Each structure stands twice: as C-alpha cells, then as structure tokens.
Structure 1
Amino acid sequence: MSGSILIFDSGIGGLSILAEIRKVLPGHDCCYLFDNARLPYGELEESELIQGSVSLICEYALQVKAAIVVVACNSASTLILPILRQRLTIPVVGVVPAIKPAAKISKLRHIGLLATPGTIRRAYTQELIQAFAEDCQVDLFGSSELVMLAEAKLAGETVDMAKLNCLLAPIQDSALDTIVLGCTHFPILATEIQQVLGRGITLLDSGQAVADRVMFLLKDLEVIKGAGHTDANYRAVYTSASITEGLRERLVEEGFNTIEPHSPTCLR
C-alpha cells in the first residue's frame, strides 16, 4: 500500500471523511485505522488519547508506507496534530469544526456546534469561535451518545429516533439557524438529525474541505492514483478484540477487501 492514504478515527465516523475523499480520489489506496477499543474519544483523558492515538498512527504510517495521514476525528485533531507533524515527515491533515463557514452563512447570526464533550471543552474550539464567529451567538452542545448511535447505524441497527429526539431537544429549543456537525460520526446521522430539527436548520460538516485538502497535497507530492486505477486496495484495521458481523458486512459494502484486528508485531 505504498503511497496510500492513512485515515484514523476512534470508530467508524471517519467513513464520512473517506466518502468525501473517494469522490475526488476514487482510485487511491486507503488504510482505515479505527481505535474502537477506546471509543468514544470524547470521554478520554487528554493524556490517554494523545499517547494511544499518536502511537497507533505512527506505527501504521510506517507499515503501509503512507503518503499522507488524515486524522478524521475532531476530538483527536484538537490535541495531536502538532505532535504528529513533529514525529512524521509526511503531511498530516486534521478535522476541525466548520465554525468559519457556519458563521458566514448564518442569517440569524446564531449558530450551534454539536460535538463530543472533549471537542466542546478544548481551548482550540474556543479559539475558532473567537477568530471566525465573534459576531455570532454560538451555542455548544456536547454528546457522546450520538457517537454510539452512529456506530450502531453503520452496524445495521435501526436508529432510535426517540432517543435522538431527546438528545437534540436542547437544539430544538434554541433559535439558531445553522448547526456545525463537529464530530465525523455525526454526518452518518445527518438524515435523522435533519428530520428531527427540520429543514429550517442548515447542517454543516468538514468532510469536503478535508477531501479537497488531501487531493491538493497528494497532487503536490505527485502520488495520486487516478480513477483508472482498478485494483485500489482498501484495508480496515480495528483495535478491539472483534467487531460485529453487521459492521464487518458494512465495511465490505464500502469496498474494504481486508478487514483485520490491530497486530502490532506484524509488519506488512
């Protein structure tokens, strides 16, 4: 998988980022590494999140001879990007909440950020708000339960709409017109979230912006494999002891030809 894109997330939320990357780079090899043994990242202590995720990413960047790393997790991106950029010689792209575009499009100047508790707490998030949404009212909504609902949906389970309604009730009670989906898991639930909140609220995420950045950097490195590259390799690696059959089937549907547990002693 030399020259591949290494995509990292705490769970399968990063598949929403991968979907956008595949639109612009349909023939490129990808390794999707998800640390589901420690899911959800929004509940982890910062030191534990940093130590575990940096170690995993550096290990697999070497294993697959990655050309670029995408940290497809807002909770991790707010902490580990500077460390990874010191440790690795390849480009590292992170995911940050789409505060800037949300502030630009909000007609009411009232936006919300729906993210994990970890992302909500980060100083980086406050800096984004101060830099790009100073003239807006910004409401913060933290939820780790939405992460697990998204995981369950991709594993083939029906979304619990009653529970979703309850989780989104604080947003329904507000007067905002734009919501930033500040966790890569949340676009997986975009249809259901829109159903609950109604069409009067615009949902924004960072997926397309990340994909465009990845394409730009790979073009600069001159390692892009085009749409005519028919034998693209899609490999998924998880850190738990096992995954559900429903999730495995979904990964196969997504085009992954290798799905395996993390094996730190097995270099390929």
Structure 2
Amino acid sequence: MKSSSMKGHSIKSRPIVIFDSGVGGLSIYQEVKRKLPDIEVIYCADNEAFPYGSKPETEVIDRTLYCLNELARQFQPSLAIIACNTASTISLPKARQALQIPVVGVVPAIKPAGEWSKKRRIGLLATPGTIAREYTQQLVRDFAKDCEVIMVGSSELVDMAERHLRDEPVGHEEFKAVIEPFFVNGQQPDCIVLGCTHFPLLEEQLQAASPVPIHWINSGEAIARRVEYLLERAPESGTANSDQFIYTGNDDGVQALMPALKSMGFETVSQLEQEH
C-alpha cells in the first residue's frame, strides 16, 4: 500500500511533524488539532521498529534521529514533536542538536498531577521502561515529592491501544487487570497519569474498568499549548488541511487503521520514502 488518497490533496507551507513508534502519538495529534485546527500535520509511525519500550537506548536514538532527519528532508517542517515518552526521554537532546527546528518532547505529566491531587496520592501508568527510567524518578522528586506515587508498568496496554484503533476486540477484563494494582491493599489514587501517549486513546475503557471515578491526566493539552506558543499561531477554524499519515515498515496492520485515520482527518496514508 504505497499511497491511499482519502480526498483532494493540497499542500500548505511548513507543516509540523508528529513522530511515534506506533499510533500512540495520535492522542497528541488530536490535542494539537483541537487547538490549531488549521495546521498541516505529517504523522509518522515507525512501525518497522515498534515497540520502542523494550529496545536498547542506542537503537531508539538511532531510529528516532533517522526518521526525523528523513521527515525534515522531505517535508521541511516548522516544528517536530517526539510523541513517545520512551523516545523523548532518551533522544530529545540529540534530536534538538540534529534538527534546525524546535523539537518538542513528551514526558509523564507528573507536575500537573502533583498540583491537582487532593489526597496527595497519585498513580503513574506507563511502560516498564518509563517507570524504571531515572528521568521519571526525577520528575517525581521535583514535582510530587510530598505525594505517594503508585507506579504501574504495562507493555500490554500499548498493544491493546494498537488493537483498539484497528477495531480488534480488547476485553474488559484485560483493562481491569492493567489497573488493578492501583487499588490493592485499600490504596486508591485520586488521579492517574497516563505516562505513554498510547494510553489516552483508551481512557474511556480504563475508567469503565476502574472501581471508582478517577481523574486521568496526560500530556496532550500541554504539548498543544507549547506548539501554539512556539509557532506563535492563533487558532483558526474552518480551514482545510492536508494531514498525512506515514509509516516506515510494511503495510501489515495499516489497512485496518484506515477507518480510524479517516475519521481523524488524515487525507493520505503512505510509506516513508527512504534514501538508499
């Protein structure tokens, strides 16, 4: 599936790039489009190397820089978002050195959770790699040191989000198993940080599986505000855009995403052109 057009394609100058290992960054895409509906977005999923969470750091850095450099060469974007917590915490400094444009990273929203929590007990739901990373521990020390932070690592939830967007069945019991550790031994956070960009795509299902109402916090809105500030753009409405979804590997699983991508507003779906 080299290219699939969804409607007439028009090119606007200086799009932005949103990059992730899979579809998780679509939660960031949705927030950016909510705030800046006129902006053209090139979304790239590195499905060839998915998932990043279990890969060595050097490989994550190499893949991130390779894809971002290719996207910068082909599309001359005004800004790039690394919409992956793993890639952001590992690759952001090198990406900012390599590209001549602003690069925005995504980190777990510990700071807003620490500001919001009334009970001073917050949850962090992230990949095991993000939970273990020193960067995350430092965020807790900086912004939630007076809180009890219950950390739960889940790789399964990443896969569940990928399945959900492809309209594949994900059982209620699967969601219950993921969030159960937050509620053992009588503990109960009043908010849970969704520390992977895949996870906000499943917020509704996670809440349905929770034994009590939870305030879910993610980084999407803050990222959208940051993009607006860096581009010095005011929101517009009613302006057509020509958003593109690009993938790096084969098209296995991409066809199943087409209904979801079309509903989000992507006009074309194609494979990343790679220099050889």
Tell me the TM-score normalized by structure 1. 0.93
SS of aligned partner of 2:244: strand
Give the paired residue count: 262
Question: Gaps (5+ residues) in structure 2?
Answer: 1-10
Deviation of the 1:61 alpha carbon: 1.6
Which of residues 190, 195, 213 in structure 2 aligns to 1:182? 195
Aligned pairs for 1:103-182 within 5 A: 103-173=114-184, 174-182=187-195
Aligned pairs for 1:1-268 within 5 A: 2-173=13-184, 174-219=187-232, 226-230=236-240, 232-244=241-253, 245-265=255-275
SS of aligned partner of 2:146: coil
SS of aligned partner of 2:213: coil
Deviation of the 1:116 alpha carbon: 0.8
In structure 1, what is the Cα distance between the partners aligned to 2:213 and 2:250?
43
Deviation of the 1:225 alpha carbon: 8.2
Partner of 2:3: none
Deviation of the 1:199 alpha carbon: 4.2
Question: Gaps (5+ residues) in structure 1?
Answer: none
The ranges of structure 1 where at least 4 consecutive aligned residues each deviate by more than 6 angstroms after the TM superposition are none
Q: Which deviations, in whole Å up to 9, do the C-alpha atoms of 1:108-163 show, x marking residues without a partner?
A: 11111100112112111111000001111112111111001001111112322112
Contact 1:154 1:247 in 2 (8 A): yes
TM-align CA RMSD: 1.6
Contact 1:40 1:144 in 2 (8 A): no
Contact 1:41 1:118 in 2 (8 A): no
Deviation of the 1:169 alpha carbon: 1.5
Equivalent AA in structure 1 for residue 26 of structure 2: L
